[in-house]
Structure 1
Amino acid sequence: MRLTRYTDYGLRILIYLSLKPDGLSTVPEIAGCYGISEHHLTKIVGELAHLGHIRTVRGRNGGFELIQKPQEINIGRLVRALEDNFDLVECFQASGNTCPLTACCPLGGILGEAMNAFLLVLERYTLADIIVPASPMARALNLGVPSLSP
């Protein structure tokens, strides 16, 4: 089971927004923090807004912010929404399957069961479960959380 960068970056955006105390964030800000492409993030921000997780504000002082509480964002449902393809093997494909074993091979069923188990585990967690404890993650992202050491 492997998630795409799209989903990985979507999770990272939501983690960042959950840890940032106040104010709007921007694509360049988050891209710089993670060292990833602004182009990729722009598309994902649009999708997260479409899904209702963030609010975008246009204009000179625009940006985006989390509008759902972290405990309301289910990781499994988010992964299902962001991933465009769960075809682990060719026989999972609705079209283009050329495997001659599809009709008689149990592997497809076994892998399907494994994929469902993977997603069911993710559905047991929310964004709030990921960001606890928040301060080490916030410090790693330079979000201004004071150091606990003297």
Structure 2
Amino acid sequence: MRLTSFSDYALRLLIYAARHPDRLVTIEEAAAAYDISRSHLTKVANVLTRAGFLNSVRGRSGGLELGRDPVSLPLGEVLRVTEPDMAAAECFGPEEIRDPNRPGALDAAIRDALGAFLQVMDHRTLADLLADGQE
């Protein structure tokens, strides 16, 4: 399973916000903390805010805060939002665009593996990622 940098950045931004529950965090400081492009992180923040994972406060002293309790935020839910094409991979597409030479058993194996991956991620929460204590 290969995740995009978008999902990686999303999880990092959520971790950063969760580690600073007493204040609003800015995209600039999170970008600096993780050495990530500010423009990339802005796109990530917009998606996370629309999904309700983050709350955005506008204005001069605005910033971001978690929109949900880390204990009740499954990682699988975040990945389903940040990796919308994960389940739309070629082997899962409509029958008319599927490669007719690829065995159906291979498609089933990949589908099962993806399901197992998401099931594991559904049992892990943002709170689990906070346990290691690193910024």
Does the 8 A contact of 1:55 with 1:67 survive in 2? Answer: yes
Correspondence for 2:125:
126
Query: What secondary structure, in the 3-state scheme, does the structure 2 residue paired with 1:106 have?
Result: helix
Q: Structure 1: how far apart are the matches of 2:106 and 2:60?
A: 54
Q: Which amino acid aligns with 2:57?
A: V
Alignment of 1:6-17 (within 5 A): 6-17=6-17
- Structure 1 98/128 Cα, relative in aligned 2: closer, same or farther at 3 Å? closer
State the identity %.
Answer: 39
Q: Structure 2: how far apart are the matches of 1:39 and 1:24?
A: 19
RMSD between aligned residues: 2.0
Query: What secondary structure, in the 3-state scheme, does the structure 1 residue paired with 2:65 have?
Result: strand
Q: Normalised by the size of structure 2, how large is the TM-score?
A: 0.89
- C-alpha displacement at 1:51, in angstroms? 1.1
- C-alpha displacement at 1:67, in angstroms? 2.8
State the number of aligned residues. 135
Q: Which amino acid aligns with 1:122?
A: M
Q: Structure 2: how far apart are the matches of 1:8 and 1:94?
A: 29
Q: Which amino acid aligns with 2:101?
A: L
Q: Which runs of 5+ in 1 are unaligned?
A: 142-150
Q: Which runs of 5+ in 2 are unaligned?
A: none
Hey, which of these two has a bigger chunk of helix by percent?
A: 2
Q: Structure 2: how far apart are the matches of 1:87 and 1:120?
A: 14
- C-alpha displacement at 1:114, in angstroms? 0.6
Higher CA-based Rg: 1
- C-alpha displacement at 1:21, in angstroms? 4.2
Q: Structure 1: how far apart are the matches of 2:31 and 2:95?
A: 36
Q: Normalised by the size of structure 1, how large is the TM-score?
A: 0.81
Q: Structure 2: how far apart are the matches of 1:124 and 1:98?
A: 31
Does the 8 A contact of 1:88 with 1:111 survive in 2? Answer: no
Q: Structure 1: how far apart are the matches of 2:78 and 2:118?
A: 10
Q: Structure 2: how far apart are the matches of 1:14 and 1:25?
A: 10
